[in-house]
Amino acid sequence: MTTKGRPVIRSGCFITVEGIDGAGKSSQVDALAAWLREQGHEVVLTREPGGTPLAESLRALFLERDMDALTEALLVFAARRDHLCRLIEPALARGATVLCDRFTDATFAYQGGGRGFDLDVLSMLEGWVQQGRQPDLTLWFDLPADEAARRRAAARPADRLERETLAFFDQVRQGYARRCAGAPGRFARIDADQPRERVWADVQNAVANCAAFTGAVNVSGAAALSPVPPRA
């Protein structure tokens, strides 16, 4: 099936963006949404925890209140269930591309890697909540914890998780590395320790190489477009 000679995807593509705080996810995800829209895709740009009114309320509790690791995991998966049912699944069903700033790999990296929470319990919750749904592509922005901390300090006041130690973020990074090793076909590791333009080029290539997108995005054509500058 083609539109004006360009192949179009029949069912929605689910792309998640992962990495420790300060890795540069939000800076790139807006540009990615704009780039895909330029090429005719309906894009739903969303985030976790959050993405629906209920899940955003849970996000506020999650980011502000102290709680134990199981409570944290249950809150995140409760928010994810609402997000999947009300926003993500309907969008994929109508053929939209869903771009999500963080998803379940973050739960494994933060609650599993960072907090040391039981990975088997997380896997069980993942199965219940997602009923087999997984992203088609996960862009993992990989950056050393100390560089991420420098970027965060220059950018914004820290929330509850961002006040954690370098050692914590290093554990989170290792948590992401384990998830990546466990699903190499789904993950694209992006070296985030590069200038923004290089990161952006790697993002475009990873999306263009994704099986769900092959032929449906045009990297060389897009180079002629002026990509939206990543958000400051």
Ligand X SMILES: Nc1ncnc2c1ncn2[C@@H]1O[C@H](COP(=O)(O)OP(=O)(O)O)[C@@H](O)[C@H]1O
Nearest to 46 by CA among 121, 103, 130: 103
22 makes contact, choosing from ligand X, Mg ion, none, with CB < 5 to 8 Å by partner type, with ligand X
* Pairing of β 2-3 and β 6-7: antiparallel
List Cα–Cα distances, 217 to 85, 101, 187, in angstroms.
Answer: 28, 20, 18
Among 3, 14, 19, 26, binds Mg ion (CB under 5 A): 26
Question: Is residue 39 part of the contact set for ligand X (CB under 6 A)?
Answer: no
Candidate list 88, 96, 199, 206; residue touching ligand X; CB under 6 A: 199
* Pair of tokens at residue 96: 């939209």
User: Which of ligand X, Mg ion, none does residue 81 bind (CB under 5 to 8 Å by kind)?
Assistant: none
Give, as one character, the DSSP assignment of residue 61.
H
**Alpha-carbon gap, residue 212 to 115, rounded angstroms:** 34
Please count the residues of this chain forming the interface with Mg ion, following the rule CB under 5 A: 2
Q: Does 224 bind ligand X (CB under 6 A)?
A: no
Is 158 a residue that touches Mg ion (CB under 5 A)? no
d(CA 117, CA 119): 6
Residues lying near ligand X in the complex (CB under 6 A) are found at 19, 21-27, 151, 154-155, 195-196, 199, 232
Residues lying near Mg ion in the complex (CB under 5 A) are found at 25-26
